C-alpha cells in the first residue's frame, strides 16, 4: 500500500477534478466514482508525472483503475531510482 504522503499528493492533484465532491480513498475509481473521461485521466496522469518527475508507462495505464493503484505505481517507479 502506498505511503500517506504519496496518496495526499495525488488527492491534491485530483481535487480540482472531483466534481462530485466524493471523499477520496485509495479504492476510489477514476471511471465509476469520479466519473472522469479518458482525456481528463490523461491530463491527470501528466500532472502526476510532472509532480513526481516520473513517466508512467503507457502499457501500465489500463491497470490503474483506482487512486491506490496509481499511488502504488508511482512509488514503485520512484523507488527504482
37 is catalytic: yes
Distances in whole angstroms, Cα of residue 46 to Cα of each of 7, 30, 58: 16, 15, 12
Place of cell 508525472: 49
Burial pattern 7-27, b for ≥16 Cβ within 10 A else e, equals bebbbebbeebbeeeeebebe
- Which listed residue (5, 37, 50, 63) is catalytic? 37
Could you tell me the three cell numbers for 67?
A: 487512486
Residues taking part in catalysis: 37
Amino acid at each position: 500500500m502506498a505511503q500517506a504522503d504519496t496518496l495526499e499528493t495525488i488527492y491534491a492533484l485530483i481535487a480540482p477534478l472531483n466534481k462530485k465532491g466524493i471523499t477520496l480513498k485509495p479504492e476510489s475509481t477514476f471511471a465509476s466514482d469520479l466519473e472522469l473521461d479518458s482525456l481528463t485521466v490523461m491530463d491527470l496522469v501528466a500532472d502526476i508525472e510532472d509532480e513526481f518527475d516520473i513517466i508512467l508507462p503507457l502499457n501500465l495505464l489500463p491497470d490503474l483503475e483506482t487512486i491506490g493503484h496509481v499511488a502504488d505505481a508511482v512509488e514503485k517507479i520512484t523507488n527504482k531510482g
